[in-house]
């Protein structure tokens, strides 16, 4: 069996240099803005997306990749390896995982008819954004080290089970546009300086707090919530994602490093799927004990 290859979708929000470094294969999700349809990252870079988000009268709507996008990636990889692990955004958020399963079966059958072998293992990350990204990085590293599929799957399933995440919304108007809250709630929340904090764990989203008083208060609340999940002074790996607001990373990163032994910290931009819901200025932390 050849070296395991790693596939994911563009909701992983990993920067291009990481994608290239670890030879990660991307399948693009779809973003519709009015009458225009874009392939995330490929046709619509994240900076351009945020400009559209601010200026377009139409709310961007994200959708799963096309069947052909999956087929093309799997077919290409069948010429390079006989073993693929395909990691995707939480099934609770998107039909991408189920689509990947269907296209994996189709692609394996097509390759088998040609007398070749192709084993594709599809995994629901139960995460999105840098949460998915941090899992994909670990899988790709192990693959580059020549680890077998079972070792990689065991390692990433352990991360999936222990991954914690917190996302802060800066402007509640975007939650209103996405249908998550009413217009009145968004207006009142912005007037009071409410910064809702959400958790995405096990694929499900829940509200962890609604601190008032600006980003500084919200950061302190997020650090408190981290301590509730994993004791301070523990060794952790961390992913930080911002929606065109790098100043938030600059402010909260030292607070995290003060409380924890951060073995590794990844930084990235919040991409189109989460960005369309939470808007510019939103911010996320994902972390797990090592």
- On average, the pLDDT of the chain sits at 88
Report the CATH number at residue 240. Answer: 3.30.1180.10
> What are the tokens at 137?
């990085």
Whether residue 190 is predicted with pLDDT greater than 50 in this model: the reply is no
Q: What is the pLDDT of residues 67-98, one digit of tens each?
A: 999 999 999 999 999 999 999 999 988 999 99
Residue 25: what pLDDT? 98
Domain that holds residue 196: 164-289
- Asked, for residue 94, whether it belongs to a domain, the answer is yes
Whether residue 175 is predicted with pLDDT greater than 60 in this model: the reply is no
Which residues are CB-neighbours of 46 under 8 A, at least 6 positions away? 13, 269, 271, 272, 275
pTM assigned to the model? 0.90
Cα–Cα dist 252/248, whole Å: 6
Same domain flag for 239 and 277: yes
Q: What is the pLDDT of residues 9-68, one digit of tens each?
A: 999 999 999 999 999 999 999 999 889 999 999 998 898 898 888 888 887 888 999 999
Residue that terminates a domain, selected from 103, 132, 160: 160
Same domain flag for 149 and 177: no
Report the CATH number at residue 133. Answer: 3.40.50.10170
* pLDDT bucket at 186, cuts 50 / 70 / 90: very low
Same domain flag for 217 and 73: no
- Asked, for residue 46, whether it belongs to a domain, the answer is no
Same domain flag for 140 and 113: yes
Q: Judge whether 91 and 98 are in contact, CB under 8 Å.
A: yes
């Amino acid at each position: 069996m050849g070296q395991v290859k790693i596939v994911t979708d563009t909701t992983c929000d990993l920067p291009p240099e990481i994608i290239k470094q670890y030879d990660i294969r991307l399948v693009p999700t779809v973003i519709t803005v009015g009458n225009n349809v874009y392939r995330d990252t490929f046709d619509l870079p994240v900076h351009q997306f945020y400009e559209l988000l601010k200026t377009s009268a139409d709310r961007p709507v994200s959708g799963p990749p096309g069947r052909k996008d999956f087929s093309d990636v799997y077919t290409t990889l069948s010429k390079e390896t006989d073993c693929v692990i395909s990691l995707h955004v939480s099934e609770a958020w998107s039909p991408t995982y189920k689509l990947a399963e269907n296209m994996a079966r189709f692609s394996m059958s097509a390759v088998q008819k040609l007398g070749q072998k192709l084993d594709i293992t599809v995994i629901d990350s139960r995460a999105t954004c840098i949460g998915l990204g941090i899992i994909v990085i670990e899988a790709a590293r192990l693959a580059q080290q020549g680890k077998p599929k079972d070792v990689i799957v065991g390692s990433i399933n352990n991360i999936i089970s222990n991954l914690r995440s917190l996302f802060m919304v800066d402007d509640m108007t975007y939650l209103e546009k996405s249908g998550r809250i009413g217009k009145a709630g968004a207006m009142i929340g912005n007037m009071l300086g409410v910064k809702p904090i959400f958790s995405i764990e096990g694929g499900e989203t829940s509200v962890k707090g609604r601190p008032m008083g600006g980003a500084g208060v919200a950061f302190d609340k997020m650090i408190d919530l981290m301590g509730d999940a994993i004791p301070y002074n523990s060794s952790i790996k961390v992913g930080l994602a911002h929606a065109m607001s790098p100043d938030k990373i600059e402010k909260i990163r030292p607070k995290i490093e003060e409380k924890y032994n951060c073995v590794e910290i990844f930084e990235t931009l919040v991409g189109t799927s989460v960005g369309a819901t939470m808007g510019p200025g939103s911010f996320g932390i994902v972390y797990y004990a090592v």
